[in-house]
Amino acid sequence: MTSSNPSADGGQTASGQGQQSVQLKVSEDQQAGVFANAASVTVSGDSVVCDFGYIIPNVKPVTIKVVSRVNLTHKTTESFLKVLQNAVLDWRNKQKEFEKSEKQ
């Protein structure tokens, strides 16, 4: 797996300049990933904690099982937000192009 245009600190630069190629290595036991349909974010003075969870169906009260917790610095969080936003926008644009080509 190779990331898309990351900067040296692991995030994508807003201007697209000063980028360096970084290869992500994912161990075999992590390649399948985990499913999450819920997220919670806690921000403190020195870090951001992202909990990803799975809503257990048909259980009262509603119960969320945390499947992954990611601790980030504020700088890494800002870089992550930019990369995530760009990835989602790219995906939306590709979907729109695909829908246009399907109609023709």
> What is the Cα–Cα distance from 75 to 97, expressed in whole angstroms?
34
HSE of 89, CA atoms in CB hemisphere, 13 A: 6
pTM (two decimals):
0.69
Q: What torsion, rounded to 10 degrees, do the Cα atoms 4, 7, 9, 10 define?
A: 0
pLDDT number for residue 100? 86
- Res 64: pLDDT: 96
pLDDT at position 103? 82
Task: Give pLDDT tens digits along the chain (104 positions).
Answer: 334 444 444 444 444 556 789 999 999 999 999 999 999 999 999 999 999 999 999 999 999 999 999 999 999 999 999 999 999 999 999 999 998 888 87
Residues 36 and 51 sit within 8 Å (Cβ to Cβ)? no
